Amino acid sequence: MCRPHSSKSTILAPDKVYCPKQQPSAPNAKDRRSTDRQDWSDEGAAFASQTSTYTYPRFIWFPFLFAVATLSIQALNKGSLVASLFWILYEFYIIFDHVPFLFTNSVYKSPAWNFTHLSTVFFWGMEAIACIIATQSNVQAPLILIYNAFPHLFFIVANNFKGAAASKSFVEEQKKTWWVYTQVTIDNTIHGICMWYHLKYLVSQYVTIDLYLGMMLEYVWMWLIIAACLLTYYVHKDEMSMKYFLSPYCSMTTKEAPK
């Protein structure tokens, strides 16, 4: 409330009106949600592929991905060597691409290239159908791995049609949260398991897998995983650091309690 200031004041003239300074009110829940939404928005996103503008070329990728999934399942069911090798190499690449996420706090080289040169519908769509192909073909990966399709479909919708710039989830000061970190960890695990089932299925087309051969296959699979990690370290070592490992979880425990 404003009130006339006393005429005895030597600071303000008698006709001045004194209004005490009001403290800004705390934002309500709706305002906070709006602020968080702006934090995710593609305004100022680092890559042109991240836009909420609905454009027709994006629709092209959906029938393409459906065709890739259908043809891959058919080829694998026929014992195609090319299809098996393709999906083993694909899983190898995804592990190469994803592992640095756990040790970085930036959009490092590999995803920067993907964001710049590839459609995010195509990239995440391939990840979504990879687990479908491994579980729905004669590769016979565990059905639970199909879970991996859902977070990638979420990424496609959020980044392409809801204006949520996913590149911000690579930086802790922006949106690299504990649940994103957890999802990428699960994602790496699922791609590694899918690689194992593709490898086992490929070898089973030519020989019977006994106990000894099974152990040898496990060694081959393990060294493929190690090779992907070593290769990605060689490429991204200037951006990777142990100080970022598990950092989103550490941030949860060190946040100052609200006063």
Give 60's pLDDT tier (boundaries 50, 70, 90). confident
Which residues share a beta bridge with 41?
A: 164
Nearest to 93 by CA among 129, 123, 61: 123
CB–CB of 91/98 below 8 Å? no
Q: What is the mean pLDDT of the chain?
A: 81
Kindly provide the b/e burial profile for residues 109-135, where b requires at least 16 CB atoms within 10 angstroms of the residue's own CB. bbbbebbeeebbbbbbbbbbbbbbbbb
Q: Residue 81 corresponds to which tokens in the numbers above?
A: 């060597």
Domain boundaries, the chain: 54-240
Candidate from 58-62, 70-74, 126-130, 178-182 with smallest mean pLDDT: 58-62
Crossing angle (nearest 10°) for helices 178-204 and 81-98: 160
Q: Is the pLDDT score of 195 beyond 90?
A: yes
- Between 6 and 255, the higher pLDDT residue: 255
Model confidence pLDDT, tens digit, residues 173-192: 778 889 999 999 999 999 99
Q: What's the predicted TM-score (pTM) here?
A: 0.79
Q: Is the pLDDT score of 222 beyond 80?
A: yes
For tokens 């040898």, name the residue.
216
Question: Rounded to the nearest 5°, which phi and psi values hold at 4?
Answer: -60, 140
User: Once rounded to an integer, what is the mean pLDDT over residues 39-48?
Assistant: 52
pLDDT number for residue 46: 58
Give 6's pLDDT tier (boundaries 50, 70, 90). very low
